[in-house]
A = this chain, B = another copy of it.
């Protein structure tokens, strides 16, 4: 009998591996930061002993959810402005607020609130695009949550962060070096979008990505306005433009991809680029409906993302799963598309893959990191149960998440954080709120 640190039991164990079979009365054995084994409780308990057995009656265990696109620090602007045209929202509200408030201190504090919200909702890894990512990285190491932190790049200076374009790249290299051995922080380079970042800076970002083997995180084909601008400036639609400047690769994951031609879908598939689908943001900002069923049919890997809380207005991937599974049925007129198993794969295994973390997280498999979520099912809105995938997709709420483990360590226990002081995080957020309201 081998001793392990934890045996985590579950009435319903979803590994998100292989044929997606549900393991009834399952268990996961965890040693240090890693998953040692997974299977039926009978099988696991025949092979392993542990002093710590987490019981799983009326509970489901599944891999930590992956948020493939956000701007975590924008959580401090949640609900600052809504129901406005995109450019008015950006130019009159969001950009001025960012210009006025965004500092290292702001980012560090705000990321604390974002992580608290995400962990409590079962999100264990998020991909970010912002500035001052060193502050975010330090916070993640302290909390014990994973982030693929994209150091933003734009063509113009940003006071306090980059006096000239070179500074964006210097900051990115600095971030990469600071966290090169981290279990939690995976730096990447994040050129913002085709309308804020020219081809030279995109190419330079790509070269840096290749040099350090880190992902490129960008916005792409989000709005019809962006497509029109791209065609005007470069004579090509966004993905075709990316192909022409060599941006399309397995290292790229692009948020939104709402407005795509069939040729562009094929290009994304051929170059194995990933897509971070942000359905709730795309709806709320009236961007449109990304062709997700077509992307999936073409073999493009599509993860789910919340986008920033200012345009969503929360950081819950459970909400994105449910909304994505429902909306694409109505858009395509086909109620069989983005079924519950597909939606959950997007939120876990596929999401991890597009971030370059497919060997580490996103599913429950021996050798992967122990990023696990346990949800309680004994609630009116989850009763009765006929199909656990259906319930996780269409019914599960963040408040059902009880226990969250990242890297083999419990960070949420009975719904409460173990590595953060919730009251302190909320008090800090309220201080910033009063400043921002002015």
Contacts and interface: CB of A to CB of B under 8 A. Distances in A.
A280 B82 contact: no
Interface in A198-227: none
Kindly name the residue among A80, A287, A380 whose own CB sees the greatest number of chain B CB atoms within 10 A: A380
B330 A387 contact: no
A395 B309 CA distance: 10
Point out which of A120, A378, A399, A432 has the most chain B C-beta atoms below 10 A from its C-beta: A399
A117 B425 contact: no
Nearest to A315: B381
A258 to B, nearest CB: 9
Interface in A65-109: 76, 78-80, 82-86, 89
B330 A380 contact: no
B82 A394 contact: yes
> Which of the four size classes fits the interface of chain A?
35 or more
B326 A429 contact: no
A437 interface: yes
Interface in A386-405: 386-387, 390-391, 393-395, 397-399
B313 A390 contact: yes
A40 interface: no
A10 to B, nearest CB: 18
Contacts of A314: 381, 394-395
B313 A394 contact: yes
- What are the 8 A-B residue pairs with the smallest beta carbon separation, nearest first? A399-B399, A384-B433, A83-B339, A283-B326, A286-B335, A313-B394, A79-B390, A117-B380
